[in-house]
């Protein structure tokens, strides 16, 4: 064996081999065992040897870890020709961007708006190398690469946009000052700056999760022949502290399992989080390497700069590598701030071999290595890591790049525990930074102590170089396409009209009505392929198993097995071009799917129509942060909270009983929340949602919304659709019937009450309507409140219009206009849901709701417990009328006793 280390560059190449002949003998022995006894025996002996070494206390990296050195040795880095760029020009560009990022935050600090300086200072070369050489823009294919920018690094991205002419000084001076309409949001917020930002990332953990599902959705689009986006690469820039968030690592196995080599994580390992070290007593890089390798990712470590090459060449005993492996991160941070004498004593003084090595090193060399030389700060090393990531096939890649937080910002910032909260530099610190970066900014430009912005000029070599590099890569980045797409053709009315006649004697849950509607819409020749059904391993719960054989469940491997139910009509079918995304037991993953699909209209110029159906209790309560992310990212689609309500899910109990999801949904301005009672209402709402989000939106109408529908698993007779009610369904309220239209006998001058109800509660209201007439001589009109939230928003807008001097009457007030009888509202949710509109109802108002914790029982028992069943509605109605003197107080007492309340 002539080449014991093989042809592939290895991290071991940069470490001296003091006995190459011995190494060759070990390799030859291993080859001989493999040939004679087979690879399994050879692997067994290797594992036994490693076990023995560990048991004997021999310091070896674990199987999932490599030494604390670079994966790619200096000798394997690209040559000047291969690099293909002007390194000096890129240094100047990066210097300007470092300066302006720090200046922007410092100038804004006088307004008290905050900002972060240290993160971009550490990560500058990670971004700049990508922008100069790797990140593809959208001008070539409309998609380009997808960049998930670390939120706290946003000042550096703004600084680059300023340099290339996309922003001006006025924009930078309005950083974090948006109220005037010409400001810059604090972090990547597409809703606030929709021409620049594509992905909101600063809610930490959601960026990495979304990036994985975006890469996966790219494959979905390609495999389903919607659009070939195989050239797109997803880059996610993350902090090492951010990896503590469970969402950050929740989908690592999915990315490896599906071989997402179109995905790269770049983790800025500056060893610090917000308050201090990430792993003070441990090593975050080694921990992450083991975690990602264990999940099946390719790992590239870029830890040390070129200055360390001399030290590694002197390490003939391995003492340096051992010491680097054992020094905890917090001590590495301390070395960054201490002098050469301290480092000689504390780092090198622990081992005689290191003491001897240190004697060969000057103080300047030691300080260069420990203060400055990091893999993440050297563009050639970053370039090599990115190149390796793109060339690796069959798995995603994570790049662990070691940096110094606050790099180039001076001694007051670099590696200080508090630097995340430090918002400004002093004038002297800026001047020191200027000298370090070699920027042509004079002292005279600091007017009244304010730091100036720096720009070499619109026609300068730096700006021309930057723009030429971006042109070669497909245009500016990051960038979001905001031009409108052609509206999708509306599906035929037949699918929606199928529910107009009702279900006759057959009972149907609204969940089943929604699924039946989806089946018909997905058959549409024009738009059917654009539907993206998403479900978190509960398809059978929601009656969606009938979609399995017809649509297929998406899997990049197809179906490599014979399903156990292959002989059944509704068998479990997986396919490469499958349409259903069945995610397993992960609401977070399903929401990440939904976000990727709901924004494909901007990311890839392809309008997709996702609907994600889930237990309503496990949606907004568990993943509401992602739903805010969805609103920020301007996503469109249908969220469907199934098995909704506090009392409809029999026997399941507290953690399954949803009495509040509409309350949480109401807090999200992008969510249009509906609680339909009947199948025809579901059809009208979905039809309207398709028009508004994907069709011809009305003037001034925001298309960047999403719909939240609550549907129920309780089979009930579905009535025929009354005429002329579509507007009421969409706006949130219409009168379903009156006591007279229901055919109820009433005495002359009967007292009357209005019963407003939503969702499944309308059936209790209809039963109460009959009881009130038959047993108490009271007439009740029943209203369907399809959306308490939309009624409230309309009323709030009317209030705002009045303050502007415009006359506007809330829809709920117009709908109830002329009615003198009191109103009693009821839903299967806490009273806060209907009470949203109480202040705009001129009639006497009262409400019932399922307040409190849920419980396990039958529907009837649960409704009696919460006081929302038909009999409880009757007693509440009589009590309300008694307070007005329209029925006797004794009637209320009699009703309570009769119904056992």
CA distance 104 to 451: 9
Residue 809 has pLDDT above 80, yes or no: yes
DSSP H helical ranges for 338-487: 340-346, 352-359, 363-367, 379-391, 427-437, 461-472
Instruction: Tell me the per-residue pLDDT of 763-798, one tens digit each, with 9 for 90 and over.
Output: 999 999 999 999 999 999 999 999 999 999 999 999
Residue 428 has pLDDT above 80, yes or no: yes
Q: What is the DSSP string of 715-779?
A: -EEPPPPPTT-HHHHHHT-EEEE-TTTTT----TT--EEEEEE-TTHHHHHHHHHHHHHHHH--E
DSSP 615: E
Helix or strand (DSSP H, E) at 269: strand 263-269
Residue 2 has pLDDT above 70, yes or no: no
Residue 69 has pLDDT above 50, yes or no: yes
Question: CB-hemisphere CA count at 13 Å for 436?
Answer: 15
Q: What is the mean pLDDT of residues 322-327?
A: 94
- Cβ of 459: how many Cβ atoms within 10 Å? 7
**What pLDDT sits at residue 8?**
67
Residue 90 has pLDDT above 50, yes or no: yes
**Pick from 47-56, 323-332, 511-520, 665-674: least confident:** 47-56
Instruction: Tell me the per-residue pLDDT of 574-617, one tens digit each, with 9 for 90 and over.
Output: 999 999 999 999 999 999 999 999 999 999 999 999 999 999 98
Residue 419 has pLDDT above 70, yes or no: no
Instruction: Tell me the per-residue pLDDT of 271-311, one tens digit each, with 9 for 90 and over.
Output: 998 888 999 999 999 999 999 999 999 999 999 999 999 99
Give 666 or 82, the one with higher predicted confidence: 666
**What pLDDT sits at residue 14?**
85
Q: What is the mean pLDDT of residues 82-95?
A: 94
**What pLDDT sits at residue 5?**
42
Distances, alpha carbon 782 to alpha carbons 102, 769, 825, 835, in Å:
62, 7, 10, 17
Instruction: Tell me the per-residue pLDDT of 46-60, one tens digit each, with 9 for 90 and over.
Output: 888 988 988 898 877
**What pLDDT sits at residue 11?**
83
Residue 345 has pLDDT above 90, yes or no: yes
CB 631 within 8 A of CB 206: no
Q: What is the mean pLDDT of residues 67-91?
A: 92
Question: CB-hemisphere CA count at 13 Å for 357?
Answer: 27
Instruction: Tell me the per-residue pLDDT of 714-755, one tens digit each, with 9 for 90 and over.
Output: 999 999 999 999 999 999 999 999 999 999 999 999 999 999
Instruction: Tell me the per-residue pLDDT of 23-43, one tens digit each, with 9 for 90 and over.
Output: 999 999 999 999 999 987 898
CB 512 within 8 A of CB 546: no
Burial 192-211 (b: 16+ CB within 10 A, else e): bbbebbbbbbbbbbbbbbbb
**What pLDDT sits at residue 593?**
97
Triad 5, 8, 10: Cα angle to 5°: 65
CA distance 503 to 890: 41
Mean per-residue pLDDT of the chain: 93
CA distance 147 to 756: 48
Residues with Cβ within 8 Å of residue 188, at least 6 apart in sequence: 149, 151, 154, 157, 197, 198, 199, 200, 201, 202, 478
CA distance 176 to 167: 14
Give 1 or 856, the one with higher predicted confidence: 856
For the chain, how many helices (H) and strands (E)?
35, 20
Residue 1 has pLDDT above 50, yes or no: no
Choose among 335, 363, 441, 602: nearest CA to 96.
441
Question: CB-hemisphere CA count at 13 Å for 17?
Answer: 13
Residue 508 has pLDDT above 80, yes or no: yes
DSSP 349: G
CA distance 128 to 386: 12
Q: Which residues make beta-bridge pairs with 299?
A: 398
Burial 138-159 (b: 16+ CB within 10 A, else e): beebebbbbbbbbbbbbbbbbb
Q: What is the mean pLDDT of residues 660-676?
A: 97
Instruction: Tell me the per-residue pLDDT of 198-229, one tens digit each, with 9 for 90 and over.
Output: 999 999 999 999 999 999 999 999 999 999 99
DSSP 573: -
Instruction: Tell me the per-residue pLDDT of 159-207, one tens digit each, with 9 for 90 and over.
Output: 999 999 999 999 999 999 998 888 999 999 999 999 999 999 999 999 9
Residue 418 has pLDDT above 80, yes or no: no
Instruction: Tell me the per-residue pLDDT of 617-658, one tens digit each, with 9 for 90 and over.
Output: 888 999 999 999 999 999 999 999 999 999 998 888 888 899
Q: What is the CA radius of gyration of the chain?
A: 33
Residue 414 has pLDDT above 70, yes or no: no
**What pLDDT sits at residue 7?**
55
């Amino acid at each position: 064996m002539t080449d014991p280390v093989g042809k592939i560059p290895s991290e071991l190449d940069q470490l001296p081999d003091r006995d190459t002949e011995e190494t060759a003998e070990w390799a030859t022995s291993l080859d001989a065992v493999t040939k004679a006894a087979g690879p399994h025996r050879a692997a067994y002996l290797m594992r036994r040897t490693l076990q023995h070494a560990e048991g004997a206390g021999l310091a070896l990296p674990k199987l999932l870890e490599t030494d604390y050195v670079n994966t790619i040795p200096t000798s394997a880095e690209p040559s000047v020709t291969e690099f293909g760029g002007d390194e000096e020009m890129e240094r100047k560009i990066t210097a300007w961007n470092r300066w302006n990022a720090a200046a922007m935050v410092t100038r804004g600090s006088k307004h008290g708006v905050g900002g972060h300086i240290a993160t971009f200072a550490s990560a500058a070369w990670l971004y700049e190398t990508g922008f100069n050489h790797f990140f593809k823009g959208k001008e070539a294919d409309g998609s380009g690469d997808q960049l998930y920018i670390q939120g706290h690094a946003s000042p550096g991205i703004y600084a680059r946009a300023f340099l290339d002419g996309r922003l001006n000084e006025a924009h930078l001076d309005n950083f974090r000052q948006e109220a005037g309409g010409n400001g810059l949001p604090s972090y990547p917020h597409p809703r606030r700056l929709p021409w620049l930002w594509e992905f909101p990332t600063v809610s930490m953990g959601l960026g990495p999760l979304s990036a994985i599902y975006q890469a996966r959705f790219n494959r979905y689009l390609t495999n389903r022949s919607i659009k070939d986006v195989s050239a797109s690469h997803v880059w996610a820039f993350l902090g090492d502290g951010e990896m503590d968030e469970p969402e950050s690592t929740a989908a690592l196995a999915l990315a490896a399992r599906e071989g997402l080599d179109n995905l790269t994580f770049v983790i800025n390992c500056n060893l610090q989080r917000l308050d201090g070290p990430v792993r003070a007593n441990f090593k975050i890089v080694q921990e992450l390497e083991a975690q990602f390798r264990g999940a099946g990712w390719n790992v590239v470590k870029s830890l040390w700069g070129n200055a360390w090459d001399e030290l590694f060449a002197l390490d003939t005993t391995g003492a340096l590598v051992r010491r680097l492996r054992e020094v905890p991160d917090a001590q590495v941070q301390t070395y960054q701030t201490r002098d050469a004498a301290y480092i000689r004593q504390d780092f090198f003084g622990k081992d005689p071999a290191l003491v001897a090595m240190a004697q060969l090193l000057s103080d300047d060399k030691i300080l260069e290595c420990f203060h400055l030389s990091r893999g993440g700060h050297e563009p050639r090393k970053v370039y090599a890591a990115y190149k390796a990531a793109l060339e690796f096939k069959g798995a995603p890649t994570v790049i662990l790049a070691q940096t110094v937080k606050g790099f180039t910002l001076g001694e007051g910032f670099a590696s200080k525990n508090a630097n995340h909260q430090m918002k400004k530099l002093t004038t002297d610190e800026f001047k020191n930074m200027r000298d370090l970066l070699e920027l042509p900014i004079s002292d005279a430009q600091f007017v009244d102590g304010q730091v100036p912005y720096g720009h070499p000029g619109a026609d300068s070599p730096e700006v021309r170089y930057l723009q030429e590099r971006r042109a070669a890569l497909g245009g500016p980045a990051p960038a979001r396409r905001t031009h409108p797409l052609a509206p999708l053709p509306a599906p035929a009315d037949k699918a929606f009209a199928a529910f107009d006649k009702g279900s006759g004697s057959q009972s149907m849950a609204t969940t089943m009505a929604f699924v039946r509607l989806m089946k018909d819409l997905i058959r549409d020749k024009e738009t059917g392929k654009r539907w993206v059904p998403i479900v978190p391993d509960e398809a059978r719960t929601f009656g969606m198993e009938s979609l399995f054989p017809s649509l297929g469940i998406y899997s990049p491997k197809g179906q490599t097995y014979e399903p156990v139910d292959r002989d059944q009509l509704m068998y479990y079918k997986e396919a490469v071009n499958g349409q259903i995304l069945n995610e397993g037991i992960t609401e977070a993953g399903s929401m990440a799917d939904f976000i990727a699909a709901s924004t494909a209209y901007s990311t890839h110029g392809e309008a997709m129509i996702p609907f994600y159906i889930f237990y309503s209790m496990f949606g907004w309560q568990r993943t509401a942060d992602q739903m805010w992310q969805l609103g920020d990212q301007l996503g469109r689609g249908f969220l469907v909270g199934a098995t909704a309500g506090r009392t409809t899910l029999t026997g399941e109990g507290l953690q399954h009983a949803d009495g509040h999801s509409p309350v949480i949904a109401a807090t999200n301005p992008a969510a249009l929340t509906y609680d339909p009672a009947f199948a025809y209402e579901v059809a009208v709402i979905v039809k309207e949602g398709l028009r508004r989000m994907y069709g011809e939106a009305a003037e001034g109408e925001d298309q960047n919304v999403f719909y939240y529908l609550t549907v129920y698993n309780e089979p009930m007779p579905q009535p025929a659709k009354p005429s002329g009610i579509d507007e009421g369904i969409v706006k949130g309220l219409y009168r379903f019937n009156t006591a007279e239209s229901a055919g109820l006998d009433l005495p002359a001058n009967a007292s009357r009450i209005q019963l407003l109800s939503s969702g499944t509660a309308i059936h209790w209201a209809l039963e109460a309507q009959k009881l009130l007439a038959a047993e108490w001589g009271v007439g009740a009109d029943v209203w369907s409140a399809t959306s308490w939230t939309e009624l409230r928003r309309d009323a709030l807008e009317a209030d705002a219009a009045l303050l502007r001097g415009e006359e506007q009457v809330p829809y709920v007030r117009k709908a109830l206009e002329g009615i003198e009888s009191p109103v009693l509202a009821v839903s299967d949710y806490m009273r806060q849901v209907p009470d949203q509109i109480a202040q705009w109802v001129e009639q006497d108002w009262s409400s019932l709701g399922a307040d409190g914790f849920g419980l396990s029982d039958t529907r009837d028992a649960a409704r009696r417990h919460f006081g929302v069943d038909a009999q409880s509605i009757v007693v509440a109605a009589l009590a309300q009328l008694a307070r007005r003197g329209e029925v006797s107080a004794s009637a209320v007492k009699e009703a309570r006793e009769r119904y056992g309340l």
